[in-house]
A and B are shown apart, each in its own frame.
Chain A
Amino acid sequence: MAILEVEHLNKNFERTEVLKDISFSLEKGQVLSIIGSSGSGKTTLLRCLNFLERPGGGKIRVNGETLFDAEDPSTMQESEIRKKRLHFGLVFQSFNLFPQYTALGNVMLAKELLAKAQPDYKARRKEIHSEIEKEAKSLLTQMGLEDRMENYPHQLSGGQCQRVAIARALALKPDILCFDEPTSALDPELTGEVLKVIKGLADQETTMIIVTHEMAFARDVSSQVIFMDDGRILEQGMPEQVFENPTEERTKQFLSRYTQG
């Protein structure tokens, strides 16, 4: 069974249709790349999956459980949405690290706040804290940041910030980790280190959805590629197929801009 099923998703901002009948599914351990020109709705799609925007129509299912159904208002309760968000992680283009916390603090904060809601928190406080800290440190080490844990975001390079942000998202063990152009805000020499980390996650079979303009990377890392145009999925398939034998004229046009450059 697919870990994620998206069916007929629609989203309007006032009168403009930004997402039009988006359907796709994703298997556990797979990587889905979403490509497409600016304004085609890629960010909006990720924001819908993370419940930062509410779709006007359609369904979102994770592990067979319906998280969102536009027909069913009971799926939209604020208190439930907070839990549903935890199925997804989101790494932003502009990192959005919390400036007043160290790298380690950024990774630990949400986990600690969640732990506070556990019934045995008071009794096992110290133990829980050190567990969370240990996990956070191991994640940061995995991101190649073992000597940067006590630094504040403004003391880190963009590439390091983005790796902290990835560790922060991973700390909550989301079923599906989403990336919105994770390297677009970085200097070219820093994109490599972030892409390498994401590739490492792909090799460990982390289920991911990656919006990116790095075509070579998308081709290399993904099991499935979606090309979006004007709010629609225009083309969808294996990377070889989408990149080498696109059927749609728009896809060819779009890709040719990258191969020429």
Chain B
Amino acid sequence: MELILEQFPVVIQSLNIGFIQTLKLFFVTLLGAVPLGLIISFGSMSRFRPLSYLTKIIVWIVRGTPLMIQLLIIYYFPGLVLDNPIWGGGESGRFLAASVAFIFNYACYFSEIYRGGIQGVPKGQEEAGLVLGMTRSQIFFRITLLQMIKRIVPPMSNEIITLVKDTSLARIIALQEIIWAGQAFLKGSQGISGAIWPLFFTAVYYLIFNGILTVLLGQLEKKLDYFR
């Protein structure tokens, strides 16, 4: 116990640095995947058959294979197979590769949620707008958009919470996120080695961050509770 107290400041500092990397990957993924998912959902709903089939096949592959494999392929494929290491070396290169893999993976999941949200708004809503002389864009922004958002908030919340935990997968390409930082003390770092507790302690970070997100997303859901 005393030993832990002694190690605590060093470990926390290290974990904080790792957690910042975790947060960066989380927010970058969210920022990229939210709009990209919308584009993919339009693709899969396109009336142009080849486009919708192609999009659906891509979504099927991305959702049907582990994110970890996608990370490995995206990180190693250009350098090892194509002899063109586009990611560059170092932490920034790994971060870039991880961001691309995460954004693409999550955009595919989001696109399915969007599709459900868009198709879930009854056709009668659009028709009611049309017979009242509204333009398509008025109908979208004044009528269907909010109903879509209401529908997608609960499933999106689930995905977002999952994303927080999934960021730890980036350790597989040695991205120095929080789990990586915790594990370093097992192998030996800054004079501490063989300590397992920092690794366990990372869970506290995830718990607190997910707790905050759950409250925020719950509030958003409540805000939209005034209509059905």
Contact = CB atoms under 8 A, between A and B. Distances in A.
Interface of B: 122, 124-125, 127-135, 138, 142-143, 146-147, 150, 226-228
Contacts of A196: none
B134 A99 contact: no
Interface in A161-190: 168-169, 172
A172 B133 contact: yes
Contacts of A99: 147, 227-228
A34 to B, nearest CB: 17
Contacts of A85: 130-133
B151 to A, nearest CB: 11
Given A94-B124, A98-B143, A110 B134 contact: yes
Contact of A52 (B130, B138, B146, B227): B130
A52 B132 contact: no
Given A52-B131, A110-B129, A169-B131, 18 more contacts: A82-B133, A85-B130, A85-B131, A85-B132, A85-B133, A92-B124, A96-B122, A96-B128, A100-B143, A109-B132, A109-B142, A110-B132, A113-B133, A113-B134, A153-B227, A153-B228, A168-B132, A172-B133
23 contacts: A50-B131, A52-B130, A82-B134, A85-B130, A85-B131, A92-B128, A96-B124, A96-B127, A96-B128, A97-B128, A98-B143, A99-B227, A100-B147, A100-B150, A100-B226, A110-B129, A113-B142, A152-B227, A153-B228, A154-B227, A154-B228, A168-B132, A169-B132
Nearest to A111: B132
B127 A92 contact: yes
A126 interface: no
A112 to B, nearest CB: 10
B126 to A, nearest CB: 9
Nearest to B132: A110
A83 B134 CA distance: 9
A236 B227 CA distance: 44
B209 to A, nearest CB: 31
B133 A110 contact: yes
Contacts of B146: 100
A99 B224 CA distance: 11
A89 interface: yes
B147 A89 contact: no
Interface in A67-88: 82-83, 85-86, 88
B184 to A, nearest CB: 51
A113 B147 contact: no
A98 B133 contact: no
Contacts of B135: 82
Contacts of A113: 133-134, 138, 142
A152 B122 contact: no
B123 to A, nearest CB: 9
